[in-house]
Structure 1
Amino acid sequence: MTTLTLASAQTCAIAGDLSGNIQRHLAFMVAAAEQGVQLLVFAELSLTGYEPALAAGLAIAPDNAVLAPLRDLARELHMTVVVGMPIRVPSSSGVLIGALVLAADGSMAVYSKQHLHPGEEVAFTAGSGGEALAWGEDRIALAVCADFSHASHPHDAAKLGATVYAAGVLISEGGYAADSALLQGYAAEYSMVVLMANHGGPSGGWACAGRSAIWGPDGELIAAAPGMGDALVIARREAGSWSGWQVIL
């Protein structure tokens, strides 16, 4: 099997500050490149913070020029990066919770959150998901937060051949034990690597838990952040075996 290096980017988002959060994302991308990361996944709504009340004013088209620095750096670093952003697309009249895939070749794809948490419908519209990423012999399925709480979501990903299930989330301290157990269970049940990228600090009034993590296809923990704060959680497959580490930023 080919070498594959994945990472969760755990950032502390600044509420509504797209410009400032972009700069922090760029710094994370450079730090990840120094670790040999090929795929870097950020948390749900990482570029704005989880701020439903601000989402309508912040939402953009996925190809908006404001994201050009991220796309350009992804291409320069030969890295694929998944960032969280409220978006508007022609096929929907509402604001979607987007996971934008900025590919190493300069292309872009869109995943939109399919399952909303109760109350999110006030600010957001449910999306239609998106295609898995083809990566050599691997297929990487994306999820955004509540998507993974619906068992059909990872089940369908595995049925379509996903070997990695990558979720950008906002998980609070109170929900962490149950949610992380779900994700770990999916890794073991479907023999998939499961990556979870959480917020590293408070967002939208939630006390986020941090502790982003990656579990191996046997369900065992490969690597995790120790708590809150800015961190990279990295997993690498070489010769069919996984190893992991963290970098505190």
Structure 2
Amino acid sequence: MSLSAPPLCVAAAQCPAAPGDVRHNLQTHLRFVHAAARLGVQVLLFPELSLTGYEPDLLAAHVMDASHPALQALQQAARDHAMVLVVGGPAAPQRAGAHPAIGAWVVGIDGDVALYRKRHLHTSEETFASPGEDDALVLPLAGEAIGLAVCADLTHAAHARAARAAGAALYAAGALISNTGYPAESALLQGYAREHGMAVLLANYSGPSGGYVSAGRSAFWAPGGECVAAAPGDAPCLVWAERSRQGAWTGGVQDVTLSPS
């Protein structure tokens, strides 16, 4: 790592979601944004379908575009806090007439909105969703080349390879991973950090969604595979990591208090 590496602070928002209640979930997102701003976070990653909850049968009822009120509110928050936000929400498919896509919406500090569609679906999702057609999307976010992934994408080693080949220095995965799946999937993510020499950030849910109970344990692995920070469980929190000008990563976990529903 160059001695002049630009400083960077990224975080995973380990947040809960109310099924299909975008308005409520938006308020949760904004609370996490405000908490992240106090830590100086520049890029904040949310779990898969964070704005609707992981509810595949509700995808069609909540398809979003860049003009959606929730995304507009997040655009304002991104501008106010000079923070790039990556949030989960349904999106139109790439092919007309197909099922909706599971989207990762990227809200920039300049008001621009970009979209990555989940490339690899679980079999159980195919009744409700269509896969994206791009093997990788790598964007310059806060000066860092970040490759986006959504849940099942991370179980396909070719997806991480494609992101690295496209220049990703950080692989950011929003997910819903259960206790059963967590050991294998976190090992894959740590392996990508080790094999490809890129940082890896995982944002997992707090609490249940869509009939699954999240393991929580959102985490950040530095290039080479060292786990710099990880949530101990599934409570609402921010898992943050910061790179110094010398290229060293440090991090931690910050609890986030949410108002009662």
What band does the TM-score fall into relative to the shorter chain? over 0.9
Q: 2:74 aligns with which of 58, 70, 77?
A: 70
Superposition RMSD in Å: 1.3
- Partner Cα distance (1:49, 1:102) in 2: 19
Question: Match of 1:104?
Answer: 109
The reply on whether 1:240 has 2:239 as its aligned counterpart is: no
Q: 2:165 aligns with which of 144, 156, 159?
A: 159
- Partner Cα distance (2:239, 2:70) in 1: 27
Question: Match of 1:218?
Answer: 224
Task: Assess if the C-alpha contact under 8 Å between 1:223 and 1:233 holds in 2.
Answer: yes
The reply on whether 1:122 has 2:148 as its aligned counterpart is: no
Q: Aligned pairs, how many?
A: 249
Per-residue deviation at 1:128? 2.6
Greater shift in the superposed pair: 209-218 or 90-99: 90-99
Aligned partner of residue 158 in structure 1, secondary structure: helix
Task: Assess if the C-alpha contact under 8 Å between 1:116 and 1:146 holds in 2.
Answer: yes
- Partner Cα distance (1:67, 1:2) in 2: 29
Question: Match of 2:11?
Answer: 7
The reply on whether 1:43 has 2:56 as its aligned counterpart is: no
Per-residue deviation at 1:132? 1.0
Q: 2:192 aligns with which of 182, 186, 190?
A: 186
Task: Assess if the C-alpha contact under 8 Å between 1:62 and 1:89 holds in 2.
Answer: no
- Partner Cα distance (2:137, 2:194) in 1: 23
Which deviations, in whole Å up to 9, do the C-alpha atoms of 1:2-23 show, x marking residues without a partner? 0000000000111111000000
Q: 1:176 aligns with which of 176, 182, 202?
A: 182
Per-residue deviation at 1:202? 0.3
Per-residue deviation at 1:131? 3.1
Task: Assess if the C-alpha contact under 8 Å between 2:26 and 2:70 holds in 1.
Answer: no
Per-residue deviation at 1:58? 1.6
Q: What code does the residue aligned with 1:101 have? A: V
- Partner Cα distance (1:131, 1:183) in 2: 17
Per-residue deviation at 1:53? 1.5
Q: What code does the residue aligned with 2:132 have? A: G
Aligned partner of residue 195 in structure 2, secondary structure: helix
- Partner Cα distance (1:105, 1:191) in 2: 30
* 1:36–1:189 distance in 2 versus 1, CA, 3 Å: same
Greater shift in the superposed pair: 104-113 or 66-75: 66-75
Per-residue deviation at 1:148? 1.1
Q: What code does the residue aligned with 1:138 have? A: E
* 1:137–1:51 distance in 2 versus 1, CA, 3 Å: closer
Q: 2:83 aligns with which of 76, 79, 93?
A: 79
- Partner Cα distance (1:219, 1:140) in 2: 17
Q: 2:210 aligns with which of 191, 204, 209?
A: 204
Aligned partner of residue 119 in structure 1, secondary structure: helix
* 1:223–1:186 distance in 2 versus 1, CA, 3 Å: same
Where does structure 2 lack aligned partners over 5 or more consecutive residues?
Answer: 257-261
Aligned partner of residue 105 in structure 2, secondary structure: strand
Per-residue deviation at 1:61? 2.1
- Partner Cα distance (1:90, 1:116) in 2: 15
Where does structure 1 lack aligned partners over 5 or more consecutive residues?
Answer: none
Which deviations, in whole Å up to 9, do the C-alpha atoms of 1:58-100 show, x marking residues without a partner? 2222332332111111011110000000112574432100000
* 1:10–1:92 distance in 2 versus 1, CA, 3 Å: farther
TM-score normalised to structure 1 length: 0.96
The reply on whether 1:195 has 2:201 as its aligned counterpart is: yes
The reply on whether 1:60 has 2:64 as its aligned counterpart is: yes
- Partner Cα distance (1:138, 1:19) in 2: 31
Task: Assess if the C-alpha contact under 8 Å between 1:111 and 1:128 holds in 2.
Answer: no
